[in-house]
Amino acid sequence: MLLLNVLAENAEKEKLVQPTNYGVTFVKEADIVFGSEHCNTAPLYCILNRVVYILVDQRILIFFYTGQSSTYFKMRTRRSRSLPRSRRTGSSSTIRTRLFSDVLRNSGNRFTLSNFPRRSVSTPTSEGRKPIIEREEPVPPVKPDLTVENVDLNISINSKEHHTNEYSISEEGRGLIVRRGQTFDITVEVNRNYDIKKDDLKFVFLAGDNPSPTKGTRVSLILSDKDVKKEWGAWMLKNEKKRLSIRINTPPTCYVGIWKIQIETVVKSDNKTIIFDMCHDQNIYILFNPWCKDDQVYLHEQDLLNEYILNDKGRIYVGNKNSMNGRKWNFGQFEKDILDCAMYLLDSNVALWSTRGDPVKMARKISALANGSDEYGVLEGNWSGDYEGGKSPLHWVGSIAILQEYYKTKETVCYGQCWVFSGITTTLCRTLGIPARSVTNFASAHDCDGSISIDHHFDATGDSLEELNDDSVWNFHVWNDVWMARPDLPKGYGGWQAIDATPQEASDGIYQCGPAPLAAIKTGEVYLPFDTPFVFAEVNADKVFWQMTETGDLKNIGLKKHSIGKHISTHLPIGKPMGNWENFCYDRYREDVTNQYKHPEGSNEERTAVIRANQESSRKGIYHEGKLMDVQFELLEKETVPYGKDFEIILKISN
């Protein structure tokens, strides 16, 4: 409209037309026919001094009558923000064609006039009669010679091959769930016999809101006659005339998420290539694949896969180091809405697609999303004892109700504590294909200041300085281990990695923790990422006693070793999903994994690990020679104490 206003102000001979139904007008000796129904929006055109301005789709087409012949025109295009100053300003290109409609058809602009009707224009007779405009019927639109009539994702067969048949999505036939790095077969039905040498068939996989090849969220596959390995590919298995069996391969680094499949057929007409596509209405869920040797989460033993991926029930251990008991938990990773909830969490919390292929980054992200402290995650923690407005952490017996409520309301669920956070983290990891287990550490330390020790402070008279005593020891604490390779670290640090969804200390400004390699925790190599110093302190910190002198300095007056990290426990991998799980006795199915986290207490290897870790401490040097502590305390405790009975303790003091 800006263009039209300018023309109205500066042109005396301006003639404005809103064409409908192939409206007709004349410019000098040239006959012009223009139809509005061939454009995305109704065009406006203005005739001014042998110049035609057409405003269509926010683009201006400017045509000049050259005066050489009534059938030749000059054309240039401008954005609608530009103003037509002169027919000689701006760059232009000459297009010579027989009719004005042909100029539009070949201009390469955003609208398509390939079906514009042909016209014959008669010249005036000797008797001075007006020319007669004859219009033919519009040419029918180009139709694809090859069309896709049906696509079968073969959900039942593929889900069994990919160990995803237990998902409710698979059982209900609502979508196809596959694991990356492994082929799956689909069936495509077309309208005529397919010739792979002549026909073009393309499979396009789309992910996210704005699929892009540069982001890796739009992948185009040309149908081939041979297979491919370790990369995207599509090839023909069987050609039964109109029924095609196609095998699709995804790379072992493929982004985990919800994908759409679009099948394109290509038609060549009048030196043009026209693409017709059919987007399948069912989602394809691509997961991590611990069965694939090339996947970073590959786990070599089937019994372990049965437990850490396929087992939907188990126990989470609680209590204290002298009285451990297993709390039954229904992980329910295959139940309704659970996988969709996991995908929603990733999609709605800015989990960039570029990180979706890396289980290290994904596991770290899950540890943040499981709690509601920062990113509108699943569960709110509460240790106050007042659970008004929610449910007590003791109410929950599984992850299903929590995740279903979150997915339905899109609001953080109240309330949970460490074993509940661990339970839903196990569920989220297993449903996405990351092997995971819940792990309980008894006598678990909480280091608040990065000292990698549990520090107790006293004044000069021996009274406790509570305002400085932020560190603590919990009867038990529960987190998770996830299994994966660590190509970001030196060789030897793959395998189990600790992550913790309970919001304790912020990491990189977010309440998240891990993954920290157990191999590094065991040897005290706490400089390796992520959050390894914090996890090391939980399982192997020493208690250090400090006295504040009259000058305000802290003096190391004592040390208590071997009191942190007892009976680190997880559910025994029984090799198959549990049946009558509620009758199992905890001690039969508890696996002690303390030796995976630390060397035997008091061994040279264990002491070396503690001293090595101290080199990364905020309070370095407490183990250096020349800084020996005046007094060492060692509390000799009994393993069991009868309830209601008196008991004795032995405190061993040495200097």
Amino acid at 493: Y
Sign of the CA dihedral running 538, 544, 545, 550: negative
- Write the burial class of residue 335 (CB in 10 Å: 0-12 exposed, 13-18 middle, 19+ buried): buried
Q: Helix or strand or coil: residue 527?
A: coil
Low-confidence ranges of the chain (pLDDT < 50): 1-43, 64-126, 130-134, 581-586, 625-626, 628
* pLDDT value of position 648: 76
332 contacts 482 by C-beta, under 8 angstroms: no
Catalytic residue among 46, 254, 418, 513: 418
| 588 phi/psi in degrees, rounded to 5 | -80, -30
Asked about 38 being catalytic, the answer comes back as no
Report the alpha-carbon distance of residue 470 to residue 374 in Å, rounded: 22
- Write the burial class of residue 646 (CB in 10 Å: 0-12 exposed, 13-18 middle, 19+ buried): exposed
Catalytic residue among 337, 358, 500, 531: 500
Cα distance between the two ends of the chain: 93
43 contacts 1 by C-beta, under 8 angstroms: no
* pLDDT value of position 1: 41
Sign of the CA dihedral running 100, 106, 108, 111: positive
* pLDDT value of position 398: 98
* pLDDT value of position 138: 59
Pairing outcome for strands 566-571 and 436-446? antiparallel
* pLDDT value of position 622: 85
Amino acid at 147: T
185 contacts 154 by C-beta, under 8 angstroms: yes
Report the alpha-carbon distance of residue 133 to residue 130 in Å, rounded: 10
Q: Any idea which architecture 302-636 has in CATH?
A: Alpha-Beta Complex (3.90)
The label of the residue with tokens 């126990």 reads 315
Catalytic residue among 457, 477, 567, 571: 477
Name the DSSP class of 371.
B
* pLDDT value of position 17: 40
Asked about 152 being catalytic, the answer comes back as no
**Angle (nearest 5°) at CA 119 between 115 and 124:** 165
**In the chain, which segments carry CATH 2.60.40.10?**
148-287
Question: What are the angstrom distances between the C-alpha of 356 and each of 55, 207, 221, 256, 346?
Answer: 44, 11, 21, 5, 9
**In the chain, which segments carry CATH 3.90.260.10?**
302-636
Pairing outcome for strands 15-17 and 44-48? antiparallel
Helices vs. strands in the chain: H and E counts, helices first: 14, 35
Asked about 418 being catalytic, the answer comes back as yes
pLDDT tens-digit readout, 457-473:
999 888 999 999 999 99
Question: What are the angstrom distances between the C-alpha of 423 and each of 69, 259, 314, 384?
Answer: 82, 28, 10, 21
- The pair of structure tokens assigned to 98 is 């027989």
**Angle (nearest 5°) at CA 242 between 140 and 245:** 125
**Closest to 371 measured CA to CA, from 258, 530, 480, 288:** 480
How many other CB atoms sit within 10 Å of the CB of residue 111?
16
Report the alpha-carbon distance of residue 471 to residue 242 in Å, rounded: 71
The label of the residue with tokens 């943040």 reads 368
Cα dihedral 358, 346, 429, 506, rounded to 10, equals: 80
CATH topology (fold) of 148-287 = Immunoglobulin-like (2.60.40)
pLDDT tens-digit readout, 564-597:
999 999 999 986 555 554 444 446 899 999 999 9
